[in-house]
A and B are shown apart, each in its own frame.
Chain A
């Protein structure tokens, strides 16, 4: 069946370090792909999305590219800041009849130290 696997955390980095959070999926069709971010005590916010192969989503310095050949959507940022400390969720939207179900990875906690 359709599923998503996200890199387990926690991830701890120093400010200005390079960030990668891996996300891979298994799907019978071609999902749309989303990354959400959750800051402490808050709900989720859409970070970026990509809807077809080779699309690159980007926002706030974060990027992710839809790789159909490797069924992956890894999140990257070249230089993290303390304010990026949060939980990050990869969320494919798989096709399922008339309702496209959004499926969340387990989340990766990122802590950025000054």
Chain B
């Protein structure tokens, strides 16, 4: 989607190294998400944030960390504790709605970062 920028498009990590993936948005959306995509496994949720300075673990948070210091930015750090980091990482945003209106909101995705191990 226009308005969500993920960088870099390709990233290489050496063993024992931490790397940070960038996600920036200008859609003024409150919520932001990080997903991991592996072949044949769909998307799995790593972390999400519904508001600045707050975030929650998703289904596969081990070996990852995030911060949400600004509404526009939600960087993901892949730490050396993540033993199998090779994957396609997708950032998504969402306009929050009150109460049950949240269930109807779509998520908007960036173009992803492909991380590989050297």
B16 interfacial contact with A, CB 8 Å: no
Say whether, besides A43-B111, A44-B90, A104 and B42 are in contact (CB < 8 Å): yes
In the complex, are the beta carbons of B108 and A100 less than 8 A apart? no
In the complex, are the beta carbons of A100 and B103 less than 8 A apart? yes
A58 interfacial contact with B, CB 8 Å: no
B97 → A minimal CB distance (Å): 10
Q: Which of B1, B41, B43, B107 has the most CB of A within 10 A?
A: B43
In the complex, are the beta carbons of B42 and A99 less than 8 A apart? no
Interface size on B, residues (CB 8 A): 21
Which of A36, A45, A95 touches B103 (beta carbons < 8 Å)? A95
Which residues of B35-66 have CB atoms within 8 Å of chain A's CB atoms?
Answer: 40-43, 45, 50
Interface size on A, residues (CB 8 A): 24
Alpha-carbon distance between A43 and B111 when the two chains are bound, in angstroms: 4
List B contacts of A95 (CB < 8 A).
103
Which residues of A73-96 have CB atoms within 8 Å of chain B's CB atoms?
Answer: 89, 93, 95
Nearest B residue to A52 via CB reads: B104
A8 → B minimal CB distance (Å): 9
Q: Ordered nearest first, which 3 A-B pairs have the shortest CB separation? A: A43-B109, A104-B42, A104-B43
Q: Which B positions have Cβ atoms within 8 angstroms of A?
A: 1, 4, 6, 40-43, 45, 50, 90, 92, 102-104, 106-112
* 17 further interface pairs, Cβ-Cβ under 8 Å (given A43-B1, A98-B102, A99-B50): A32-B103, A34-B106, A36-B109, A41-B111, A43-B4, A43-B6, A43-B92, A43-B111, A44-B43, A46-B107, A49-B106, A95-B103, A99-B102, A101-B45, A102-B107, A104-B42, A105-B42
